[in-house]
Amino acid sequence: MKANDPFEGKFVINEDAPKHAAAKPVNKPVKEKKVKKTKKNASKKKGSKPRKIALICGVVAASLLLVLTIIGVICSVKASKAVSDAKMLKTSVKQTLDFLADGNADAADNSIITVEASIKELRADLDESNWKFATSIPFAGSKIKEDLDTARKAVNIADEATVTILKPASTYIRVLGKPSLDGFNMDDMGPDMAVRLYALCNMIDAVSPAAKKVMKDIGELPEFNFSIIEDEVSSYRQLPQQAEFFIPIIDTASTEILRPAADTMNRVSFSDLKTEDGMNTDVIRAYLDLEDKIEPHLMDICDEILTSPLVTENPEKYVDLSNSLINLMKTLYEVKTYKPLIRLIIGEGEDRVFLVVAQNSAEMRAGGGFPGSVGKAQVIDGEFTFGNFESVFKSLPEYQPSSITITEEENTLFLPDWYGENPIKATVNPDFPRAAEIMAAAYEENNNETIDGVISLTPHIIQRLLTITGPVTLSNGVTLDDTNAVNYLQKQIYFDYFKSDDYTNNYSEANMITDALFAETADIVFKELMSHINKDSIIQLMSVITESSKDRVLMIWMKDPESQAEISKLGFSGALYSEPDNPVIGVFYNVNLSCKLGPYIDYHVTMGDGTVNADGSVSYPVTVELSNTIDDETLEYGLNNIYITSMENGADLISLLYLFAPAGGYVSDFENDGDVDIVIEEYNGLQLGFAPYFILYPGETITFSYVATTAPGVTVRPDIITQPLIHDYCIQEDSTT
């Protein structure tokens, strides 16, 4: 007993007594006393047993608590260093992956050294000799041993990943550089980039099997009974599911996308696309062929990722990836749309020549404008060039070619004294394939040169292209940009030159100067466009082409019927639609004057809700508001300077209006507030309301209303097509100052 024990000497243990006998006081005689077993005493004895059981349970519980406390203390002390080293390992692995993603092989190698050191420390921490006591503790020891085995497996996985993934990846990154599209330039696509892509593919081939095995091992790693390094391991437990999904996709991308791309780049440098005067069509075809090959795989991969439960069930986690893939799919779709058009233009190696007609919308024509300048888009000996514009009067004769016969319908509708006699006036017909056919035949007969097609452009496309190229400066010092090009080329230029004292009595010279500036603008913008070719500008260019095909700013005709059918399918033909199932209402306007009043002509077309008829056709109310917006000051100036207004009629517009019905349908119920006669005519099987030779006076607006009815059974709401107008582009102030 302890010296200060208060109970010392008070109790002794009777060693001869049974073990369950109670201790007795010292130096007091013991008298034997018979105890009569009464009912009351019997019950007291029975009640002592639960108290003993409770006492025993309490002792056992206290012992277990003590054992668990000891285990906790031992495990805490032993595990603290292991946890610290595990955290260091986790941090080092993350740093290594970050360095690899940044293309920094030197930093990755240094980080791998830290990873290996952390693995070595962890192995020492988890050595059996450090855990003999903990693993020998009854009950808990076996669980601790299981956890130690799990921890050692985790360390072995980290070691294997270091050897089979991190180190090989660093070796390839040293050649590959940063695996990113940041700063990517299409001119970089060539042998040097091919080497990098091959290195990336080789890295994927080398690392992918190892990554699959590491992920499998992580997936089989048991949960820890105690915490130990669970926090450091848990973040990796989700990787096997992700890897099972993404690794096969990466393998497919390597085989079906990256290697074919590397093969093409190794053979053909994209930087060879640009020639001194144009583009190398062999380069274009090589990369179109590549896109044909990889596009299905790219689309499948994007679709697979975007529709996978891994992404759809965790949208916040994959939002950046999803947005990038969606944008990629949109780009691929647009590229796929334009590939046939590009192939039709550049051909398959043969020489090709297209007339490029720059239509001047200041002179209002139903087909887009007066074809003031004519250039060429051609492929000669594998080089595509665009430009060489000259006055239409040098390119086309002022008589109809012998191969063209003007029909009675055309003579009725399209100014027989113009259209019927002069191919330069062909664009009074809104049916561009027919107008192009006439101009091509006239050019061939006049120049003894075969033409494969005709491309029509209005100045709107110049302004749209300037959003890609940036501003350009003409030889006269005027700077054009994406806000003023149409206004200058279609309006201001005439005030600048035709009011000048130098040209007041010499309109022919002024006209030559303005036509030359049109041609110069087209040449400069095309050359600037070629110098800005990259992945972003190509996407912008496709957007411009799409917009310009929809509003007839860009139209294309091919002499070859099969090619023309493809052009029509792509939506570039400028034809008057003839398919009843795709109803279109056409509204077009001609001015039978030689003048530059296009900026002052405006019309708006609106269509109301349809009414279904008994035969399944649908009738739509249509309203056309046609306005002559010229102001008094401009009118007075024009009358004094002749060229802007008409010499004979001033700004009294001799007008012709064409209201085409949907294919297979009809137009009816014509009304207007200008006392204009409208007759029913037909052109190529399409019915139309024709308002010939009425006057639209300065400041006047005439409102036309009628009903357009689709073919029987066609319930699709019609589209509306018109010629491209320039009124909204042209700033009305200060032109005459």
Over range 72-81, report the average pLDDT: 56
| 22 vs 730, residue with greater confidence | 730
Give the pLDDT confidence of 253-285 residue by residue, as tens digits.
999 999 999 999 999 998 898 888 888 999 999
Over range 229-243, report the average pLDDT: 67
Confidence of residue 3 (pLDDT cuts 50, 70, 90): very low
| 310 vs 17, residue with greater confidence | 310
Give the pLDDT confidence of 478-523 residue by residue, as tens digits.
999 999 999 999 999 888 887 666 655 566 677 777 878 888 888 8
Angle at 174 between CA 168 and CA 180, to 5 degrees: 100
| 238 vs 724, residue with greater confidence | 724
Over range 150-167, report the average pLDDT: 86
Which range has the worst mean pLDDT, 136-145, 255-264, 331-340, 548-557?
Answer: 136-145
Kindly list the structural domains of the chain, giving each domain's residue range(s) and its CATH number in brackets, ordered by start.
78-318 (no CATH), 352-566 (3.40.630), 579-729 (2.60.40)
- Reference 374, options 359, 390, 363; nearest CA is 390
Please state, in angstroms and as integers, the Cα–Cα distance from residue 636 to each residue in 322, 602, 631, 700, 736, following that order. 61, 20, 9, 17, 10
Confidence of residue 69 (pLDDT cuts 50, 70, 90): low
Distance CA 537, CA 519 (A): 23
- The pTM of the full predicted model, rounded to 2 decimals, is 0.77
Amino acid at 196: R
Enumerate long-range contacts of 390-396, CB under 8 Å, 24 or more apart. Answer: 390/519, 391/512, 391/515, 392/357, 392/424, 393/424, 395/355, 395/443, 395/446, 395/447, 396/371, 396/423, 396/424, 396/439, 396/442, 396/443, 396/446
In this predicted structure, what is the pLDDT of residue 179?
64
Per-residue burial over 380-392, b = 16 or more CB atoms within 10 Å of its CB, e = otherwise = eebbbbbbebebb
In this predicted structure, what is the pLDDT of residue 642?
65
Return the number of other C-beta atoms located less than 10 Å from residue 639's C-beta.
14
Whether 126 has a pLDDT exceeding 90, the answer reads: no
Which range has the worst mean pLDDT, 218-232, 390-404, 458-472, 601-615?
Answer: 218-232
Cα torsion 92, 96, 99, 105: sign: positive
The answer to whether 517 and 511 are in contact (CB under 8 A) is: no
Amino acid at 19: K
Give the pLDDT confidence of 595-652 residue by residue, as tens digits.
899 999 999 999 999 999 999 999 999 999 999 999 988 888 877 766 788 888 999 9
Please state, in angstroms and as integers, the Cα–Cα distance from residue 297 to each residue in 35, 286, 293, 304, following that order. 100, 18, 8, 10
| 425 vs 637, residue with greater confidence | 425
Averaged pLDDT of the chain: 83
Distance CA 696, CA 673 (A): 12
The H or E element containing residue 485 is helix 485-487
| pLDDT over 90 percentage in the chain | 44
Which range has the worst mean pLDDT, 170-179, 203-212, 265-274, 549-558?
Answer: 170-179
Over range 438-449, report the average pLDDT: 94
Q: Dihedral of the CA atoms 305, 307, 313, 317 (nearest 10)? A: 30
Whether 731 has a pLDDT exceeding 80, the answer reads: no
The answer to whether 516 and 476 are in contact (CB under 8 A) is: no
In this predicted structure, what is the pLDDT of residue 12?
39
